[in-house]
Structure 1
Amino acid sequence: MTERTAPDDRTAPDGPLDLTDVSDLTDPLDFPGAAQLLAAGEVPPPAPVAVTAAREAVPRAAAAEATVVPLRTTRVGRRRGLLVATAAVAAIAAGAVVYPVLDVGGEPAATAAASTFLDDMAAVAADAPATHAPYWKVRVETVNHDDGERTDTTFFDRAGRIWSVDGDGTVHEPPMGKKGKLKKWPVGKKWLTWPELDKLPTDEKALTALFPKDANSRFGQVVIMLEDSPASPELRAALFRILADTPGTKLIGDVRDSKGRAGGGVEITTEVRYGTGPDKGVKYRTTDRYIVDPDTGLPLETTHKIRGRDLPADRYTWLEVGPAGQVG
């Protein structure tokens, strides 16, 4: 980031700078794209998630700049920040959406809007009641290129044993002994059972250290945990905060899943290699999208799309995830 060293001839000598003094600021609509916004005329109102994000981004930007002023920031820096915030508000008023990006150097940071939304989801998750139920129920509709479409209903207990239930209600008991598979979730290079999840740290920094450093892999593992694990409210809150700080995560806004349910969507795009034989090493971009119910913090749908390939996105629609008193 370029260091600002321009002299400040408007610094108040005996007190803090007045952020409300905008008498000499340039036209608030003097920014790239303003003419196009004005020429667009009437457009549909922006999504509520977008409006909330923009409103929250303005005081965040002002607060952040106010914090660094005593160190080295000049009035020139303040004016630029205010103009960016004003431009965002003007764009929202015109029906467009602007999501400012927090530059932390290196790979792109999560957008400010995504961080705001996911921090809100962390607060929602933290307020949810803890469960002491003996079982956890998951009903999910899966659609992918290889298997087609199916709906699976499973129950698992705290030991990780898995029961499956057919559409007609037939319950299939888990195999006895070592042949039975246990329900586990990935955390870094380990796969953890329900009791092991309860032992994970809920401090964001300590928990982040357990997940992959690669942003896309971290996003994937955290989302898997948020999808169908019986993580405690404190652990879920920490997981949302990790997503909020994962580079490349961006907010999609108000979206609906394949069932028409309204939610807030976040996604991450990365470059991967696919193919075998002559096609080995071909690069494609993939996008993983996670839609969450903003009122409950519970999962609605996850999709994985390989961009550049004529294949539909893999889709996992979460129909029911939560505690259960019995199987069936």
Structure 2
Amino acid sequence: MNDLQTLRAALALDEPSQDVVDRSRHRLQNRIRGGRTSRRRTGWLVAGARLTAAAAAAVAIAAMPAAPVDGPPVRTVSGQEILLAAATAAERSPEGAGSYWHVKVTEADGAAASSGYEYWTKPDGQSWMRGAKTGGKVTPIKALSATPFSLVAVDLTLEQLRALPTDPDALKAWIAEALERSDARTSAGKLTASDREQAAFQSLISLVSTLPATPEVRATAFRVIADYPGVENLGAVPGGQGLSLPTGERLVVDPATGRVNGTSVFVTMDGAVYKVADPAGARIKAEWTNTLPE
């Protein structure tokens, strides 16, 4: 059984056993008939109709998760299982194709793109953006970057991004080594060990959400995130399953498609980390497209 099948099995409700149905119907019959033997026949016909509807309702209630006495408890799907299912789906998903890598981040309530952040990047580094800084207008970025894709403090070409390891331990080691070599600095100076650890985790978030990584690399990043302790399932939300991550960030992951549809943190095209103030996070869409920015 693969991760997706495991998730479906955990989310599915078990049918009530015949014993549960019989006991529920018997209890209901006793309540309805108790002390009422002098009813006229027409009264019994009405009672019989009510019994049929009520018995059906009793069966439905017995099947609900809120009835632990009559049925087995429903197992809660863990955050790790959701990430592993998403990894399986991502691995099987089509890679997509196009001339531009397009990322769009908007407020959780679907606010206009002018109040969010949006950019288009060609593999050769030519880029356009739209956001608050551009007044909601699509503006070409004059500086042509040879490494237009960013893992927080590490800039990459598309070829380097696509060549990242697909083994979880190897991917973690690659990111850690790249951050160690990076000349990125904070306001307090060179990156500390704690800074690098946080940047490594945010780099993994970028791989599953905003970067044009291969399906295999995205799946690997999902599995590395799943290995971190403290990933929690927040339940169903618009766009998928809400997840609370160990560093306080939140993601909305669709385990059936392997897509991240919401986030509380994202890395901009220049490698800056932006945290969304809204508790609901922000909607996110990332894909290859042939549509030119307007």
TM-score, normalised via structure 1 length? 0.50
After TM superposition, give the deviation of residue 118 of structure 1 in Å. 1.1
Residues 1:154 and 1:183: Cα distance change in structure 2 (over 3 Å): same
Q: What displacement does 1:217 show?
A: 4.6
**1:54–1:92 Cα contact (<8 Å) kept:** no
What whole-Å deviation, never above 9, does each CA across 1:66-114 have from its counterpart, x for those lacking one?
A: xxxxxxxxxxxxxxxxxxxxxxxx9886498765xxxxxxxxxxxx822
Which residue pairs with 2:139 in the alignment?
Answer: 172
Partner of 1:303: 264
Tell me what 2:230 maps to: 248
Provide the aligned length of Structure 1 versus Structure 2.
199
More displaced stretch, 113-122 vs 128-137:
128-137
Distance 2:215 2:244 in 1: 23
Instruction: Give the structure with higher Rg (CA).
Output: 2
2:207 pairs with 225, 231, 234, which one? 225
Partner of 2:116: 151
Q: 3-state SS of the aligned residue for 1:173?
A: strand
Higher relative contact order (CA 8 A, sep 6+): 2
Contact 1:185/1:225 (8 A) holds in 2: no
Give, in whole Å, the separation in 2 of the partners of 1:93 and 1:127.
38
Q: Map Cα deviations across residues 234-292 of structure 1 (whole Å, 9 max, x no partner).
A: 1111111111112222222212xxxxx2311221244xxxxxxxxxxxxxxxx211101
5+ residue gaps, structure 2: 1-6, 14-63, 109-113, 177-192, 266-276
| CA displacement at 1:312 relative to structure 2 | 4.9
CA distance in 2 between counterparts of 1:91 and 1:296 reads: 26
Decide whether the 8 Å contact of 2:106 with 2:283 is kept in 1: yes
The AA in structure 1 aligned to 2:207 is: M
In structure 1, what is the Cα distance between the partners aligned to 2:168 and 2:67? Answer: 36
Matching residue's letter, 2:287: G
**Distance change >3 Å, CA 98–CA 128, structure 1 → 2:** closer
Whole-Å separation in 1 of the counterparts to 2:264 and 2:127: 24
Confirm or deny: 8 A CA contact 1:50 1:97 kept in the other structure: no
Instruction: Say if 1:190 and 1:262 are closer, same or farther in 2 by CA, change over 3 A.
Output: closer
Q: Return closer, same or farther for 1:134/1:223 CA change in 2, 3 Å cut-off.
A: same
Q: Is the CA contact (8 Å cut-off) linking 2:241 and 2:253 kept in structure 1?
A: yes
| Aligned residue number for residue 192 of structure 1 | 156
- Larger helix proportion of the pair: 2
The one of 226, 232, 255 equivalent to 1:294 is 255
Q: 1:93 to 1:118 in 2, by over 3 A?
A: farther
Residue equivalent to 2:101 = 136
User: Over residues 209-252 of structure 1, what are the superposed CA-to-partner deviations in whole Å (9 max), with x where a residue is unaligned?
Assistant: 22359775543221122121111111111111111112222222
**Residue 175 of structure 2: SS of its match in structure 1?**
coil
In structure 1, what residue type is equivalent to 2:202?
G
- Determine the C-alpha separation between the residues in 2 that align with 1:181 and 1:52: 46
- Report if aligned partners of 1:163, 1:327 keep a CA contact under 8 Å in 2: no
Structure 1 91/216 Cα, relative in aligned 2: closer, same or farther at 3 Å? farther
For 2:220, the equivalent position in structure 1 comes to: 238
Give the 3-state SS of the residue equivalent to 2:212 in structure 1. Answer: coil
> Match for 1:262 among 236, 239, 254?
239
Pick closer, same or farther for the CA change 1:120–1:161 going to 2, 3 Å. Answer: same
Q: Is the 8 A contact 1:216 1:268 kept in 2?
A: no
> Tell me, which stretches of 5 or more residues in structure 1 are unaligned?
1-48, 56-89, 100-111, 144-148, 256-260, 271-286, 305-310
Residue of structure 2 in register with 1:183 after alignment:
148
Asked whether the equivalents of residues 228 and 246 of structure 2 are also in contact (C-alpha less than 8 Å), the reply is: no
Cα distance 1:206–1:268, how it changes in 2: closer, same or farther (>3 A)?
A: same
- How big is each residue's C-alpha offset from its partner over 1:14-43, in whole Å with a ceiling of 9 and x where there is no partner? xxxxxxxxxxxxxxxxxxxxxxxxxxxxxx
The AA in structure 1 aligned to 2:244 is: E
RMSD after superposition: 3.8
The alignment-based identity, stated in percent, is: 26
Distance 2:73 2:246 in 1: 22
8 Å Cα contact 1:161-1:174 kept in structure 2: yes
Shift of 1:181: 8.9
